[in-house]
Amino acid sequence: MIVLGIETSCDETSMAIYDSNTNSILSSKISSQVELHKRFGGVVPEIASRNHLIKLEEIFNEVVNDAKIDIEDIDLIGVTNAPGLIGSLFVGVSFAKGLSYSLKKPLIGVNHLAAHTLSTELEHLELSPPYISLIISGGHTHVYYVDKAYNFNLLSYTIDDAVGECFDKVAKKLGLPYPGGPEIEKMAKNGDENRLVFPIALKNDKLFSFSGIKTAVINTIDENKYTAADICASFQKSILKNLTHKFDIILKEYKVNKLVVTGGVSANGYLRDKLTKYYQKKGINVYFPSKRLSTDNGDMIAYTAYKFFSKKIFMGLRETAYDVRPNID
Ligand code: KG4
Ligand code: ZN
């Protein structure tokens, strides 16, 4: 099957074409809106939707040409329909519905968090569920137990800020550009990670909370006593400690030897390295997507659409805008 994946849930307009016969991506294009949102210090939903609309047709033509296929060769269309910014989701889903109608090809709504998780399978051919999935992005901090049939059972989530949001807000306070995660990672390289200790919230609970760390870091910045490099390094270490602390609680309940870590924050080299080493000692393999597939992309949508199609999960064309859901459930 030739599968088109469409992703417009936040500020990346992306499409990719996946070929199930060769289990490979034939073409892929990611157009980031980061420069448009930079001066606002975060994503502006209205600007995001308008720019998806402007970009979609151009990107569609590019991926079809790059894959050296005809439009009619597409057998299946997958599109992110939840969760995400409602306007942005609408644009992608409307485009996908129009295409599905005109080509008379099936359409599947793909859950963005499921797709992040499955992106690892595209690059680690040996990987299959059951495994535990941790999604750490600008909007989400979610842990799922994924069973053999690809049922996603929610084990934990954040009760306030997402990890990426916390990185972005700390970076903003330090005067670093948006998105803050990569900037903090760079700055932390020259800092002492043991200079400061930030808290682990809800210590006996598997639920995450990051607003306390965020406030503690912001108060520390206001004290003007420490270098930005030391603050960034100590902050990054405290995020790591929070993740492993909660995971250790979860792993007491769920015995698995595979952990999948995805989402924008999983691009962080320090977290990758430390998580891999920490869990290796416990006999658990940690899988990450390549850095390119860590942030939002159409590749993961196309691949997940194929997987879901194999399970016969369809989204009807006559359903209304109700198909688009900003929340995870
Ligand atoms: O998955 P993603 O592209 O979009 C969402 O679905 O949110 O994630 C974006 C988030 C931003 O908060 C960004 O600061 C963070 O991922 N991020 C990082 C790094 N690269 C991106 N956080 C920490 N370290 C990084 N290297
Ligand atoms: Zn994402």
Gap from CA of 310 to ligand 1 centroid (Å): 30
Cis before 130? omega within 30: yes
Distance 142 CA to ligand 2 centre (A): 12
Q: Is the pLDDT of residue 235 over 90?
A: yes
Question: 152 has which bridge partners?
Answer: 146
Starting from the CA of residue 243, give the closest ligand.
1
**What pLDDT does 324 receive?**
72
Element (H, E) at 299: helix 298-310
User: For a pLDDT cut of 70, what percent of the chain falls above it?
Assistant: 96
Q: Which residue's CA is minimally distant from atom 16 of ligand 1?
A: 264
| Residues 24-72 pLDDT 10s | 999 999 999 999 998 888 889 999 999 999 999 999 999 999 999 999 9
Pocket test for ligand 1, best of 88, 293, 295 (most atoms within 8 A of CB): 295
320: pLDDT confidence band, cut at 50, 70 and 90?
Answer: very low
C-alpha of residue 46 to centroid of ligand 2, in Å: 18
| pLDDT for the residue 313 | 62
Ligand 1 atom closest to 168 (CA): 14
Among 306, 301, 305, 308, residue whose Cα is nearest residue 28: 301
183 lines ligand 1 (CB under 6 A): no
Across the range 6-23, mean pLDDT stands at 96
**Mean pLDDT value across residues 227-233:** 98
Q: Which two tokens stand for residue 186?
A: 């760079």
**Distance of CA 193 to CAs 89, 125, 187, 248, 299, Å?**
39, 35, 11, 22, 35
Burial of 312 (0-12, 13-18, 19+ CB in 10 A): exposed
What percentage of the chain carries pLDDT values higher than 90? 85
The two tokens of residue 252 are: 């007491």
Nearest atom in ligand 1 to the alpha carbon of residue 167 is 14
Structure tokens at 157: 């989530």
Q: CB-based burial of residue 216 (10 Å sphere; 0-12 exposed, 13-18 middle, 19+ buried)? A: middle
Tell me the C-alpha distance between 231 and 218, whole Å.
10
pLDDT per residue over 155-189, tens digit each?
999 999 999 999 999 999 999 998 999 999 999 99
Give pLDDT, residue 141. 95
Q: Which ligand is nearest to the CA of 300?
A: 2
pLDDT for position 312? 73
The chain-wide mean pLDDT, for the chain, equals 93
Rounded distance from Cα 263 to ligand 1 centre (Å): 7
Residue spans of the domains in the chain: they are 2-117+293-318
Query: Lowest-confidence range among 93-102, 112-121, 266-275, 310-319?
Result: 310-319
Q: How far is CA 147 from the centre of its chain?
A: 20
**Residue found under tokens 């599968």:** 3
Pick the ligand that lies closest to the CA of residue 113.
Answer: 2
pLDDT confidence band for 322 (50 / 70 / 90): very low
> In ligand 1, which atom is closest to the CA atom of 269?
26
CA angle 276, 295, 25 (to 5 degrees): 95
When pLDDT is averaged across residues 107-127 and rounded to a whole number, the result is: 93
The reported pLDDT for the residue numbered 204 is: 93
Q: Which fold has domain 2-117+293-318?
A: Nucleotidyltransferase; domain 5 (3.30.420)
Give the predicted TM-score (pTM) of the model: 0.92
The encoded tokens of residue 50 equal 């308008």
- C-beta separation of 42 from 178 below 8 A: yes
The string of DSSP letters for 247-294 reads HHHHHHHS--SEEEEESGGGG-HHHHHHHHHHHHTTT-EEE---HHHH
- At 96-107, the pLDDT tens digits run 999 999 999 999
Q: How far apart are CA 124 and CA 101, in angstroms?
A: 34
CA distance 309 to 182: 35
